[in-house]
Amino acid sequence: MLPWIVRRTRLPLLSWRCLDCPSKSATTGKGRFRANANGKLLDVWLLVRCVSCDRTSKLPVHERATVRSIDPALLDGYHANDPKLVAATLLDPLFLRRHGLALDWHGAWELDALPVGLDEAWPWQVAVDFEDPVPVRPDRLIAQGLGCSRSEVPRRIKSDISLRRPRTLGFTFIAMARGSAG
Ligand SMILES: [Zn+2]
């Protein structure tokens, strides 16, 4: 099995309608939270910034939560702007759904496909693994990994998965040498 790995190279942008300018994109930048305690109640926001005009907005992560209900380690992470916690918050499907947000992964991920020796016998058995939940169309991914056109992909590979439907779950396929498939 040849391992191919999909991983993010940075955090994705957010689809975001700016209130001050026509931009439709926001970034978390380096990633910052803001926490505000009011008595025993706590609000935590993730800060996002318009990529065009820098207007900052706050996305609620916790609203009026009792301080005791939040894991102290988590609370420390919010105060320290822990990059892992920023990523986990931004990539949380529930968080995105709650705010009606979509992620823009364009240019934010890479395919790590180790170069294969020329003597590697065809057909190749490839296992694609997702280190981060980057939704990619398998045919695009495979075309990139094999260095061929997308239209060539269905002729060159065997797999049970839908090639056109973006997915974030690992899969395997068998690839034939160029020109050898019928
Ligand atoms: Zn703006």
- Within 8 A by CB and 6+ apart from 98, the residues are none
pLDDT value, residue 118 = 58
Decide: pTM greater than 0.85. Answer: no
Q: What is the mean pLDDT of the chain?
A: 93
Mean pLDDT of 150-176: 95
Q: How far is the CA of 52 from the centre of ligand 1 (A)?
A: 5
**Rounded (5°) CA angle 5-178-106:** 35
pLDDT value, residue 182 = 47
Tens-digit pLDDT profile for residues 88-143: 999 999 999 999 999 999 999 999 987 766 566 889 999 999 999 999 999 999 99
Q: How far is the CA of 34 from the centre of ligand 1 (A)?
A: 20
Cβ-contact 23, 11 below 8 angstroms? no
Q: How far is the CA of 140 from the centre of ligand 1 (A)?
A: 32
Neighbours of ion ligand 1 (CB under 5 A): 18, 20-21, 23, 50, 52-53, 55
Q: How far is the CA of 99 from the centre of ligand 1 (A)?
A: 18
The answer to whether residue 1 scores a pLDDT higher than 90 is no
Q: How far is the CA of 135 from the centre of ligand 1 (A)?
A: 26
Q: How far is the CA of 1 from the centre of ligand 1 (A)?
A: 46
Q: How many CB atoms within 10 Å of residue 58?
A: 14
Tens-digit pLDDT profile for residues 33-64: 999 988 899 999 999 999 999 999 999 999 99
